[in-house]
């Protein structure tokens, strides 16, 4: 069995940017329990790492992630599936306060698509495909797709994916609202690193509040969401980065944000 250190690679390709690379290319980066555990541990650690301002998530080899590891799951019964505790691994990613960019090439299917859905931004290489094929093997999504796809794409697009199990091309996923941007083949990592570096250069507290309020407000009433936004907006006027940003604007220079 691969060690967690080898199945999930981590590096710092740019200031403030931590890149996580799924590294089971021989299994098309299928999500088995060790890889899920490694991802959860990495996100938990990065969430309290002051040097990480943006997380870039990608896959080594021919694809992003082909789904859950069917060989691991096939013989299990309901109690055994429950004991694996997959929801707690997803929770570490979902609750991470750092902005997350998923850079998808090849396929993002099943659990791989659900992993991408946990990101705040999805960049897709032109050859990418997204799908939830669980129904084709007798089950259904269990990592959030029935809920996150509905919120991202709307009922009719999401149900088409969920009920047929058929994948969408990168362009169709973009048109449906699932993808932020489609990038030409060969340019995905360059574009993803550039976007991650831009986000990492922004004031950390403002970035954290934007993500927190946007996600919390999505399931609240408009009035409640607007109240959350206004309170967070006001609180940022007590930060050094707000003073620096506005002073730099008036002085026509590039601001230096410290997170204070």
- Positive or negative CA dihedral for 22, 179, 129, 133? positive
Catalytic-role residue among 111, 112, 131, 143? 111
User: Facing residues of 121 across strands?
Assistant: 101
Active site residue 114: yes
111 belongs to the catalytic site: yes
**Rounded to whole angstroms, how far apart are CA atoms 252 and 63?**
43
Torsion of CA 244, 245, 251, 253, to 10 degrees: 100
Tell me what percent of the chain is helix, strand and coil, each rounded to the nearest 5.
50, 15, 30
Q: Say how many Å lie between the first and final Cα of the chain, rounded.
A: 43
Q: Which of 157, 181, 162 is nearest to 170 (CA)?
A: 181
Counting other chains too, the contacts that 132-135 makes at CB distance below 8 Å and 24 or more residues apart are: 132/161, 132/162, 132/165, 133/67, 133/109, 133/165, 133/166, 133/167, 134/110, 134/165, 135/162, 135/163, 135/164, 135/165
Q: Environment class of residue 163 by beta-carbon count within 10 Å: exposed (0-12), middle (13-18) or buried (19+)?
A: exposed
| Residue 134 annotated to the active site | yes
The active-site residue out of 125, 128, 131, 134 is 134
Q: Of these residues, 27, 40, 65, 68, which one is catalytic?
A: 68
CA angle in degrees (0–180, nearest 5) for 29-96-17: 70
Among candidate residues 114, 158, 200, 206, the one labeled active-site is: 114
Query: Helix, strand, or coil here: 247?
Result: helix
Residue of 137, 187, 130, 138 lying closest to 160 (CA atoms): 130
Active site residues: 68, 111, 114, 134
């Amino acid at each position: 069995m691969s060690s967690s250190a080898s199945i999930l690679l981590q590096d710092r390709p740019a200031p403030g940017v931590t890149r996580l690379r799924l590294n089971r290319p021989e299994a098309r980066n299928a999500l088995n329990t060790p890889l899920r555990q490694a991802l959860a541990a990495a996100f938990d650690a990065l969430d309290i790492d002051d040097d990480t301002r943006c997380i870039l998530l990608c896959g080594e080899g021919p694809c992003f992630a082909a789904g859950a590891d069917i060989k691991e799951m096939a013989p299990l019964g309901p109690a055994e599936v429950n004991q694996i505790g997959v929801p707690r691994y997803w929770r570490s990613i979902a609750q991470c306060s750092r902005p997350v960019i998923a850079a998808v090439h090849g396929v993002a299917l099943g659990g791989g698509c659900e992993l991408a859905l946990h990101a705040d931004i999805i960049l897709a290489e032109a050859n990418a495909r997204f799908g939830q094929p669980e129904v084709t093997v007798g089950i259904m999504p269990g990592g959030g797709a029935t809920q996150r796809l509905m919120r991202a794409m709307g009922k009719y697009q999401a149900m088409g994916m969920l009920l047929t199990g058929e994948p969408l091309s990168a362009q169709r996923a973009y048109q449906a609202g699932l993808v932020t941007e489609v990038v030409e083949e060969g340019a995905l990592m360059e574009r993803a690193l550039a976007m991650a570096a831009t986000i990492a250069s922004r004031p950390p507290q403002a970035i954290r509040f934007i993500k927190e309020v946007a996600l919390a407000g999505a399931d609240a009433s408009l009035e409640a969401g607007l109240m959350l936004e206004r309170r967070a907006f006001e609180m940022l006027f007590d930060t050094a980065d707000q003073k620096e940003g506005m002073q730099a604007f008036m002085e026509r220079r590039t601001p230096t944000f410290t997170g204070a």
